[in-house]
Amino acid sequence: MTQDEAKKAAAEAALKYVVPGEPLGVGTGSTVNFFIDALAKIRHDIPGAVSSSNASSERLKKIGIEVLDLNNTGQLSIYVDGADEADANLRLIKGGGAALTREKIVAAASRKFVCIADESKLVKVLGKFPLPIEVIPMARSYVARELLKLGGSCELRMGVTTDNGNVIIDVRNLEILDPVTLENKINQIPGVVTVGLFAQRPADVLLLGGPNGVRELK
């Protein structure tokens, strides 16, 4: 089984969580692209979707699903998104696709967060994947100096501007033993818009595709 086949299997397994007649939240990335393709089959049951990125909005519109403004939907029943890493407590690293801020907003505004991934994303301790942080451009050097104090080594993601007009700093060499505390600490650095740790609001369900089918962790 290829990694793409595993992502597609997880994405299709998430369809059962979609509540007919209710708008849903849709994340960003290659796994989510498989989910959007799968949504096409049931698009007549979906009044619309809140999207976490311009890229996903375009893909949703192409298959005839209306993109809604979160300010008009109220709380969403579910949010479906991928991850760069997940641990057994469903805490995540996200932001490999630079869409972490809107992803965190839509996750927070949803009753259930269904995370879809291939099983290679499951790790014992978060931190092998460089931790993405969205930063206001004028603060990037200051934030990098503050992050160094936390033990990480920082790299500006070259050539990337987020949908919100900001930059991404990727932090390597962090062994994240206490994700909630680290999320809070990084959030408090002036200039940080969002840290790609989803620990205070972890996923509620993790669907992991692999050669033996789709494993569900709750």
99 makes contact with ligand 5RP (CB under 6 A)? yes
Cβ atoms 101, 167 nearer than 8 A: no
Among 9, 51, 70, 82, the residue binding ligand 5RP under the rule CB under 6 A is: 82
Q: Which stretch binds ligand 5RP (CB under 6 A): 14-22, 26-34, 39-47, 64-72?
A: 26-34
Tokens of 164: 């919100």
121 known member of a binding site: yes
30 makes contact with ligand 5RP (CB under 6 A)? yes
210 known member of a binding site: no
25 makes contact with ligand 5RP (CB under 6 A)? no
Q: Is 146 a catalytic residue?
A: no
Amino acid identity of 170? Answer: D
97 known member of a binding site: yes
96 known member of a binding site: yes
End-to-end CA distance of the chain: 24
Amino acid identity of 22? Answer: E
Q: For residue 26, what are the β-bridge partners?
A: 51, 80
97 makes contact with ligand 5RP (CB under 6 A)? yes
Of these residues, 103, 119, 146, 183, which one is catalytic? 103
C-alpha to C-alpha distances, 33 to 26, 28, 181, 189, nearest whole angstrom: 10, 7, 32, 33
CB of 30: closest distance to ligand 5RP in angstroms?
Answer: 3
Cβ atoms 124, 216 nearer than 8 A: no
Q: Which stretch binds ligand 5RP (CB under 6 A): 88-96, 141-149, 160-168, 201-209?
A: 88-96
Among 50, 78, 100, 182, the residue binding ligand 5RP under the rule CB under 6 A is: 100
Q: For residue 155, what are the β-bridge partners?
A: 170
Starting at the edge strand found earlier in the chain, the sheet holding 92-93 runs 85-86, 92-93, 197-198
User: CA angle 201-202-207, nearest 5°?
Assistant: 150
Q: Which residues bind ligand 5RP (CB under 6 A)?
A: 27-31, 81-84, 94-100, 103
Residues contributing to the annotated binding site: 28-31, 81-84, 94-97, 121
Q: Which residues are catalytic?
A: 103
